[in-house]
Structure 1
């Protein structure tokens, strides 16, 4: 049999019952989204929206249909848009999508500030559409940890270490990666953010964020960062993220009075109330497909939006903003989404 191209389904694939999703942007993230959609039972890549000629040609070479944004917004067969654009270039597209009644899935990081995130959530709510985010590592958490209350780790001490080698030239190259208005930041916003999000899923929302040291490849584009986060739950997290080491490491350790957890390179071990917690490492591509299966199921009304919900991102957005810009977390009322 011939190899099936990424994102292309066969004639008997049941597309009439699947959720058509247009992927906006066909860079590294866009290609990952298309690959994830190829494995999702309830969704398919209906089109790619790409204005760069080279990227558009690459998409066509992969067997994908390239269309203009206004075309997919007017197409009833397209139920949702996956926004794989730089963080600083999403708001206008998101507004247009919601105005057209399209559901949204945002690539990480989902917003630059808590205010921007609140605006996106309000926009989706007013437009009665779903809003999700591609934080696929949430799906690596075993079931007992997916809805755990942050108070479970009240007073815990925790550490986060992420090392992913990247040259300074990677961040200085022409384009959006070297512009903090579009990129938001460097290694912390684009590589460290996944485990920072896991920390917030487990420990809750930040009460205080303190950046301690930082090295930049270009103004506003960090390649190494250390900081500290105090959570409303009473947990304390030390943060070290770097692209300046040859080592590849991703590790989150949480040590509570009667519970502990370690997430290392996707594998989860720990103990809560004397019960062992374990989860094996699964490829990021598989986890991305699980995000799409939850999202497409919610769009079709078969399931509800849970782990992938954009509303669960307030903690990580505030943590990022505090570490990168020094902004204090916003005051919140009791019971606010974590």
Structure 2
């Protein structure tokens, strides 16, 4: 029997998950009447949350909801024995992430996250080995154009309690996560400048992150430029790497590495493939594992909530 998945939330992220699932999708949970109507018009079965939680054919929930409203639903899902796949950003604080992981462990369920860009890395860079880039200097630049009105008039996106933040939390976060996969756990996070569309919802952030590995990362994320640009450059003592718009080039121990960019839709499918393989007991949950998100959540928390995070 193929695993059934309920996608909770039929916004942009929810539709992306459904595309990645293809014929594996089983149900949509959506409380907003307009979004539910759009799902039904697309031929999708729309069901109540309690209904899918009680359905043994539903083995996993994909939580495509704003960060501020996920925790309660995640707890209900785990209590019902459902595996979890969280949309990014996976948690508002390191403490919330730790609580989610403890909850999943206690419930005996898998916890994954939709950081699909991890699957763009070549195989030799997928292991969590920060020693490879110990002492490296790195830079991250992400530009995704959005007018301020996108954050001022788009419902939950204008509320920092639900959204967590703006461009950094929802668009820059993918490459910030890649940096943490390569460089390890942040030791100190220093925000340098910030512009908000509304209080708590950033449209531009610059900062610096020092890692426990000794690596140093400069960060610039903006929605205030017309350019679409995503680049992470890492320069180590005997290795270097550039990820630009999904394409990877570099050199490891004198050996060149290259990997062409893959469509984001294909990478999202790879996230689900790894989750399904783990659900079937064929392999461990690895690259998509939520536990690999400690670094990026700490980085986000330091950049966006500087008064609440110790340095």
Q: TM-score range by the shorter chain?
A: over 0.9
Structure 2 CA distance for aligned equivalents of residues 220 and 257 of structure 1: 38
Secondary structure at 1:95's aligned position in 2? Answer: helix
Asked if 1:172 is matched to 2:181, the reply is no
Which runs of 4 or more aligned residues in structure 1 lie more than 3 Å from their structure 2 counterparts after TM superposition?
A: 327-330
Residue 276 of structure 1 and its aligned partner are, at CA, apart by 0.9
Residue 78 of structure 1 and its aligned partner are, at CA, apart by 0.1
Q: Deviations over 1:88-141 (max 9, x none)?
A: 000010000000000000000000100000000000000000000000000000
Which structure 1 residue ranges, 5 or more long, are not aligned?
Answer: 1-16, 331-338
Secondary structure at 2:65's aligned position in 1? Answer: coil
Asked if 1:21 is matched to 2:1, the reply is no
Asked if 1:220 is matched to 2:200, the reply is yes
Structure-2 change in CA distance of 1:172 and 1:179 (3 Å): same
Q: TM-score, normalised by structure 1?
A: 0.90
Q: Which residue number in structure 2 is paired with residue 150 of structure 1? A: 130
Asked if 1:246 is matched to 2:191, the reply is no
Which structure 2 residue ranges, 5 or more long, are not aligned?
Answer: none
Secondary structure at 2:287's aligned position in 1? Answer: coil
CA RMSD in angstroms, aligned pairs only:
1.0
Paired residue total:
310
Asked if 1:34 is matched to 2:34, the reply is no
Matches within 5 A, 1:246-325: 246-325=226-305
Matches within 5 A, 1:68-217: 68-217=48-197
Structure-2 change in CA distance of 1:260 and 1:329 (3 Å): farther
Q: Deviations over 1:242-276 (max 9, x none)?
A: 00000000000000110000000000000011111
Structure 2 CA distance for aligned equivalents of residues 127 and 214 of structure 1: 40
Q: Which residue number in structure 2 is paired with residue 334 of structure 1? A: none
Residue 328 of structure 1 and its aligned partner are, at CA, apart by 3.7
Residue 148 of structure 1 and its aligned partner are, at CA, apart by 4.9
CA contact (8 A) 2:128 2:184 kept: no
Structure 2 CA distance for aligned equivalents of residues 174 and 81 of structure 1: 25
Structure 1 CA distance for aligned equivalents of residues 276 and 43 of structure 2: 22
